[in-house]
Each structure stands twice: as C-alpha cells, then as structure tokens.
Amino acid sequence: MSEGVEVVIEGKYVLAIRPQGSASASPDSTVIDLGFAVLMPGLVNAHTHLELTLAQTDVKPKRRFTDWIREIVRVTSAWGEDEFNSSVEAGLRLIGESGTTALGDISRNARAMRKYVKSGIRARIFYEVIDFNPRTAGKTFDALLARIDKHPRNDNVLIGIAPHTPYTVSTDVLKQCIKLAHENDWRLCIHLAETEAEIEFLKQGTGEIREFREEFGIPRGWRPPEMSSVRYLERLGFFDQPCTLIHCNYVSEDDFCIIEQSASSVVFCPRSHSYFGHGNHPFLRMLDCGINVALGTDSLASSPTLSILDEMKFLHGEHTEVPLQTILRMATQNGLEALGLAGNAGALSNGSFADLVAVAVLSDESDGEDVLKLVFAEQSEVVFSLAEGTVLYDAHDADSRESIDRAQRH
Ligand SMILES: [Zn+2]
C-alpha cells in the first residue's frame, strides 16, 4: 500500500502495471496522477432503472409493495418521453460519478439509447415488457420489436429482454420473449420472487397481488400455475439459456438447483431489499450452491443512491462475517457475468480492458487485506473511473464535476 503503482493504458487495454517510477512515460502519453487512492477493477451495477432517476423526490415511501408500485405508476404516468430521457441522462452522470463502468439497466419508456453510447459505459439495456392480458400480446410484442429495431449498433451497449415479473406479464408474452431472446442471443432478465405475495399469487392466485391485478386487469378465466416462480419460468423454457434474475428473495432449495443448473445469475440489491423490510436474503446460500450473485442498486425510487460502493459498504455493515473480497467480487466480476459481459474485464491485469475505478481512502498504514478495509470505510469515495480507456469521471476535473452537479440539480 505504501508503494505507488502506475497503470499504463494503451487504447482500450491495460498494457502494464508496474511500480511507480520504474520506467519513464513516453513523451506523447497523458499522465493522470490520482494521488492517494486504491485502484480497483471498475464496479458493476447489475440492476437499475435509470429512467426513474428523477422520480426519487416524488415517490412517497409505502409499507406495502403493491402500494409502492401504485406510487411509481402515479408519479410516472404524468411523464412524457422527455422526462424519461432526462432521467436516463441524469442517471448516467450519477452512475459515472459512482465508479460504475458496467451497467444493467431496465428500459421501458426512454427512447434516447444513444445516451448510453455517448457516456462510454459498458451496458446491457434490458427492454422491459409489461402486459398481463394475452389478448394484447401480439400488439405488445410488436411494440417491443419496434423499440429494439432502433437500438444503436454498438459493441458496448448490448440488448437484453426484460419481461417485468411473472405477475405482470402473461404466459403468452413470456413465451414470445423467451423465443425472441434465445433466437438472437439477447439475455433475459426478470424481477423474480421479490415478495411472499408473488409466491402466494402464483401458487394459489390469492393475496395482495391478486387485489393489485384485479385493479389493473386480470384476464377472465386466469388460473395460477400452482408452483414457485422459478419452477413456472423453468416450465416455459426461460432457463434454457443463462439469464439474469433480479432479487430472488423468496426461493427454495429446489429453485436454487434450477438456477444453478442453467448457469443463471441472481442480482441482489441490498439497500432496496432493506427498504422493503424483507427478511435475510439467501445470497450466501446461493454462493455456496455455485450460483453467481451480483450486486445492483435498483432505482432511486427504492435506494438512496446509484452507488455500488455504497451497496458494498451497506452489505458489509449487515454481514461483517462475509469476506470483503467476496463482496468486491460480487460488485465486479460477478456483475459482468450476470450481464453476459464477462471477458477480459473484471480484473486489473496486463491485457485486460482498461476498466478501473480509483477510490480515495484516508490512511496509508495498511497492506494486503487491510487495503480493502480502507475501501469499505465510511469515508472512502470514488474519485476517478475509466471504461475501456475512456474517462467516465474525474473528481479533479472541473468540467466533469460541473456536469455532475448539473445533473443533480436537474
Ligand atoms: Zn428493479
């Protein structure tokens, strides 16, 4: 820790990591001195909804989950495309500031996909579908195709498909999404087993979700599948390819087997989990079973910030028994795998993508494992981030600072 290092970057890649001053920089290179900071692989926010960024101040906290959904609908139903696009823009700035270099974002209303490309971030945009009425499945599916048709051609911003939940998307639409995703190798993502109410609805067709469905429309003659959310999706072929499962707060050991055998990933959003007062999340048991578990913030409608470093610190505070290295892996490599973005990123080594974050810490008295303790300390903060050699955020740079301030004021 006391010895400085230099990371030499050429284009998108890390060329060398060497002791500071061991070689002179070439005359035409740009030198960025990050001062006293810990350099780590770029952080990965595997689940968020940037288009809800500007809804944060208007969404009132609700005790019941379905009341919270009603609140989101109330706030966003007054919005037009401009508001959703502005939300994404503001969210991308906050994401850059937080040291996130790869992102899994759910998109339903925003249309300005070029903003992701312009930001320089690596992203999987999951196009969201909500429609529980089988009679409108064809129309809904056509609208999805029309949106995907406008997706920018870019190697860093990839397509995903996100049927919202098993209780807001009909079996017909789910089947079409599965077919479309598997045929095109577009990763599937779904909010799954988030509440006990969802499990009750799918097994018995009753409870809080039933009331919610009756309010928003439930098809005549609908019958519950009478099985767990995970088993229901398995029967439809959802797990025939690795997919991304958001939350999975209420899953059984049988469900674990299905998830593990399909090489699918679970995204755990610790502060959103706490916001809704759920019991202990089974992420440790999942990791023991060989399931890839990543971290996400979810949206600002249920989380105070879009910072994965904040999620890491929160999770550490709740689970001091979990090695810091495990939490760091969940926030980096596991996130890339959950988004189908793994490759030569997720680690800092010669030849890897130049995706990195610098975290300013308070002390230089430690080394080894203790370096991570400094990163997880309350005072640490992201001061710089880079994705494939492109600077996403530099706290020392006035222009960068100003653009983030503008986004927060928006
Ligand atoms: Zn979500």
**Ligand 1 centroid from CA 404, angstroms:** 24
Name the strands in the sheet holding 37-41, side by side, starting at the edge strand that comes first in the sequence.
Answer: 37-41, 356-360, 381-387, 390-394
**Ligand 1 centroid from CA 68, angstroms:** 12
pLDDT of residue 367: 54
pLDDT band at 365, cuts 50/70/90? low
Question: Distance (Å, rounded) from C-alpha 292 to C-alpha 309?
Answer: 19
Q: What is the tens place of the pLDDT at every residue in 226-237? A: 999 999 999 999
Question: Distance (Å, rounded) from C-alpha 374 to C-alpha 362?
Answer: 7
Q: What is the tens place of the pLDDT at every residue in 159-215? A: 999 999 999 999 999 999 999 999 999 999 999 999 999 999 999 999 999 999 998
pLDDT of residue 219: 86
**Ligand 1 centroid from CA 357, angstroms:** 25
11, with CB counted inside 10 A (0-12, 13-18, 19+), is: exposed
- Backbone phi, psi, residue 24, to 5°: -85, 145
Q: Which residues contact 268 (CB under 8 A, 6 or more apart)?
A: 247, 248, 281, 283, 293, 294, 295, 296, 330
**Ligand 1 centroid from CA 59, angstroms:** 15
Q: What percent of the chain has pLDDT over 70?
A: 93
- Backbone phi, psi, residue 375, to 5°: -65, -40
Question: Distance (Å, rounded) from C-alpha 210 to C-alpha 63?
Answer: 17
**Ligand 1 centroid from CA 48, angstroms:** 6
Per-residue pLDDT at 250 exceeds 90: yes
**Ligand 1 centroid from CA 49, angstroms:** 6
Length, in residues, of the chain = 410
pLDDT of residue 205: 95
pLDDT of residue 352: 87
Residue identified by tokens 């990050």 is: 34
**Ligand 1 centroid from CA 272, angstroms:** 9
What domains are there in the chain, each with its CATH number?
Answer: 43-347 (3.20.20.140)
pLDDT band at 30, cuts 50/70/90? confident
DSSP string, 298-355: --TTTSS-S-HHHHHHHHHHH-TTS-HHHHHHHHTHHHHHHTT--SS-SS-STTSB--
Element spanning 18, H or E: strand 13-19
Angle of helix 229-236 versus helix 253-261 axis, rounded to 10: 30
**Ligand 1 centroid from CA 301, angstroms:** 10
**Ligand 1 centroid from CA 106, angstroms:** 7
Per-residue pLDDT at 405 exceeds 60: no
**Ligand 1 centroid from CA 14, angstroms:** 33
**Ligand 1 centroid from CA 363, angstroms:** 36
Q: What is the tens place of the pLDDT at every residue in 293-339? A: 999 999 999 999 999 999 999 999 999 999 999 999 999 999 999 99
**Ligand 1 centroid from CA 322, angstroms:** 25
**Ligand 1 centroid from CA 109, angstroms:** 14
Q: Label residues 295-328 b or e (16+ Cβ within 10 Å = b).
A: bbbbbbbbbeebbbbbbbbbbbeebeeeebebbb
pLDDT band at 110, cuts 50/70/90? confident
Per-residue pLDDT at 401 exceeds 50: no
Per-residue pLDDT at 273 exceeds 80: yes
**Ligand 1 centroid from CA 269, angstroms:** 9
Residue identified by tokens 């430690």 is: 366
Q: How many Å separate Cα 64 from the centre of its chain? A: 23
Q: What average pLDDT does this structure show over 245-255?
A: 96
**Ligand 1 centroid from CA 203, angstroms:** 22
**Ligand 1 centroid from CA 313, angstroms:** 20
**Ligand 1 centroid from CA 212, angstroms:** 18
**Ligand 1 centroid from CA 13, angstroms:** 32
Q: What is the tens place of the pLDDT at every residue in 185-198? A: 999 999 999 999 99
**Ligand 1 centroid from CA 191, angstroms:** 6
The residues with which 124 forms a beta bridge, in sequence order, are 104, 158
Element spanning 391, H or E: strand 390-394
Q: What average pLDDT does this structure show over 144-159?
A: 93
pLDDT of residue 406: 43
Q: What is the tens place of the pLDDT at every residue in 45-91? A: 999 999 999 987 777 767 788 998 898 888 898 899 899 999 999 99
Per-residue pLDDT at 1 exceeds 60: no
**Ligand 1 centroid from CA 407, angstroms:** 22
Q: What percent of the chain has pLDDT over 90?
A: 69
pLDDT band at 342, cuts 50/70/90? confident
DSSP structural state of residue 193: S
Question: Distance (Å, rounded) from C-alpha 196 to C-alpha 193?
Answer: 7
User: N- to C-terminal Cα distance for the chain?
Assistant: 39
